[in-house]
Amino acid sequence: MQKNDSLPNNDITKKILPVILATSIFMQMLDSTILNTSITSIAKDLNESPLEMQNAIISYVLTLALFMPVSGFLSDKFGTRKVFIFALMLFSVGSVLCALSQSLIHLVFARVVQGIGGSLMTPVGKLALIKTFPKRELLKAMNFAIIPALIGPVLGPLVGGYMVDYLSWHWIFLINIPFGMIGILLSMKYMPDYKSPIIDFDLKGFLIFAAASLLLSISLELFGNTVRLTPVLLILMSGFLMLFWYYRHAIKDSNPIFPLNLFQVRTFRVGILGNLATRLGYSSIPLLLPMMIQIAYGQSAVTSGWIVAPMALTAIFGKSAVIKILNTFGYRKTLMVNTFIIGLLICTLAIPSIHTSIYWYIPIIAVLGFFNSIQFTSMNSISIADLRNYHTSSGNSLVSVNQQLAIGFGIALGLLVLKIFKGDVKLIHNEIHNAFRYTFLVVGFLTILSGGVFRRLHDKDGDNLKSAE
């Protein structure tokens, strides 16, 4: 990796670079959560059903997943500074296009533009940080930069709720513009410009894997929107065929984008599968709960934002407790028990009736946020615990891609289940609140079942991480 000679003073760069990365992370985290409490108002303005608006969210997370693997290659070829500034500009342009959207199709297109910018923004910023700071200083710099990742999910539902109720939903996207401008101006002066003389990117593997992910996502989305199953099943089968094609490609290619021998590492294999299975059940909750509060209970976006916000606050406490918990109980026991607790908590969201106070949800969602934080920190760390140094980069990239795909699949699955129950008028007694309650039971039960994946871990797995902590 080479560095451009025309860099600013290194001491100033070390002070400003974490701020630049923090700005980009804040934009991305705010944007990922701000839409959940606003989706009902956007649907009303665009003359769409809120249950048909999932494409506005899924398109964004799917685009993140598809383009994240390209970030390293583009940085090596064009330099971290150019790619990072381009990503910020693209994210900001996408935000403006979102605010100007006149239909769901326009909004989805704009979210894709945002997603491409977001997929490059944070990975390239982290890469620049890693290359700038020596290892002894890296943890402190990274901890400062990821503070917005904790604050964003707290502010997102609240900011979204207030903007929708007192301004208009367009402002939830326009709020990105000043942050984007600050990031661009700082990057032009202080972002290092690292390049690599050796560029090796598996373009064929990337295109095959991207096609597989896209086809699988489309098939899951179409299951809830069509009565003709044959075309949907053909798309689903095409997605799996693409995965098989990637498998054949990765066997022959000397440097595939995601090496297959990653899956020979048991902890990585369990971590990836567990991450996917658990998020399939959980990922729709931050969207379904605000939607239910607004649609079934007739409450404002601000109210739904205040009810969901404690989930992010208690997640901060979960992050501070996770090391002690893992040191005491180990990864296997922690993940198995924790997954069961999360699934049970999701099921309890189905207990309150339409006549129960909505504030009954606050303690449930607060406790859920705590255990959810423990879950994902544990899964992500065990996934890369036993990887060799030369596999850490590709393994970590696949964990991130898998996480984004799982979120997209989980949202699509949750809304698909909700649509099925909503269509059964006799079962729900023509009361949409009951459709939400049954959906919580289904996704909660799926989450409980997903805990079985972690039985494949051994009691001593992750001990090498404990000693490092």
For residue 2, what is the enclosing H or E element? strand 2-3
Single residue among 211, 235, 256 that ends a domain in this structure? 256
Beta bridge partners of 194: 3
According to the model, what pLDDT value does residue 5 have? 43
How many CA atoms lie within 13 Å of 106's alpha carbon, on the beta-carbon side? 13
Single residue among 234, 256, 278 that ends a domain in this structure? 256
Beta bridge partners of 195: 2
| Model pLDDT for residues 101-152, shown as the tens digit of each residue | 888 888 888 998 998 998 888 888 877 877 777 766 665 666 666 666 666 6
Verify that 379 and 236 share a domain, yes or no.
Answer: no
Q: For the CA atoms of 267, 268, 270, 273, what is the dihedral angle to 10 degrees?
A: 170
Verify that 303 and 353 share a domain, yes or no.
Answer: yes
Verify that 280 and 426 share a domain, yes or no.
Answer: yes
CATH number at residue 415: 1.20.1250.20
For residue 456, what is the enclosing H or E element? none
Verify that 248 and 275 share a domain, yes or no.
Answer: no
List the structure tokens of 130.
């890693």
Which residues of the chain, if any, have pLDDT below 70? 1-10, 135-154, 198-199, 221, 223-229, 389-393, 462-469
List the structure tokens of 454.
């972690």
Verify that 186 and 303 share a domain, yes or no.
Answer: no
Neighbours of 247 (CB within 10 A): 12
The number of distinct structural domains making up the chain is: 3
Residue 133's domain comprises 1-199
According to the model, what pLDDT value does residue 448 have? 92
According to the model, what pLDDT value does residue 337 have? 92
Verify that 139 and 232 share a domain, yes or no.
Answer: no
Q: What angle do CA 25, 306, 26 make, to 5 degrees?
A: 5
According to the model, what pLDDT value does residue 311 have? 82
According to the model, what pLDDT value does residue 38 have? 81
Verify that 213 and 109 share a domain, yes or no.
Answer: no
CB 186 within 8 A of CB 20: yes
Neighbours of 380 (CB within 10 A): 16
Verify that 230 and 94 share a domain, yes or no.
Answer: no
**Cα–Cα nearest to 460, from 326, 277, 308, 262:** 326
List the structure tokens of 195.
């390049």
CB 296 within 8 A of CB 437: no
Beta bridge partners of 3: 194
Single residue among 183, 199, 215 that ends a domain in this structure? 199
Query: Any residues with CB less than 8 A from the CB of 244 and at least 6 apart, and which?
Result: none
Verify that 336 and 191 share a domain, yes or no.
Answer: no
- Name the one residue in this structure whose structure tokens are 């990821």: 146
Verify that 274 and 361 share a domain, yes or no.
Answer: yes
Beta bridge partners of 2: 195
Query: Would you call 194 helix, strand, or coil by DSSP?
Result: strand
According to the model, what pLDDT value does residue 149 have? 64
Verify that 243 and 190 share a domain, yes or no.
Answer: no
How many CA atoms lie within 13 Å of 241's alpha carbon, on the beta-carbon side? 7
According to the model, what pLDDT value does residue 390 have? 62
Verify that 11 and 104 share a domain, yes or no.
Answer: yes
According to the model, what pLDDT value does residue 441 have? 93
According to the model, what pLDDT value does residue 467 have? 44
According to the model, what pLDDT value does residue 142 have? 63
- Residue ranges of alpha helices (H) inside 191-300 are 203-223, 229-252, 266-282, 285-295
According to the model, what pLDDT value does residue 193 have? 82
The one-character DSSP state at 86 is H
| Model pLDDT for residues 214-262, shown as the tens digit of each residue | 888 777 767 656 556 677 788 888 988 998 998 889 888 877 888 888 8
Query: Any residues with CB less than 8 A from the CB of 19 and at least 6 apart, and which?
Result: 186
pTM above 0.85, yes or no: no
Neighbours of 455 (CB within 10 A): 10
According to the model, what pLDDT value does residue 469 have? 42
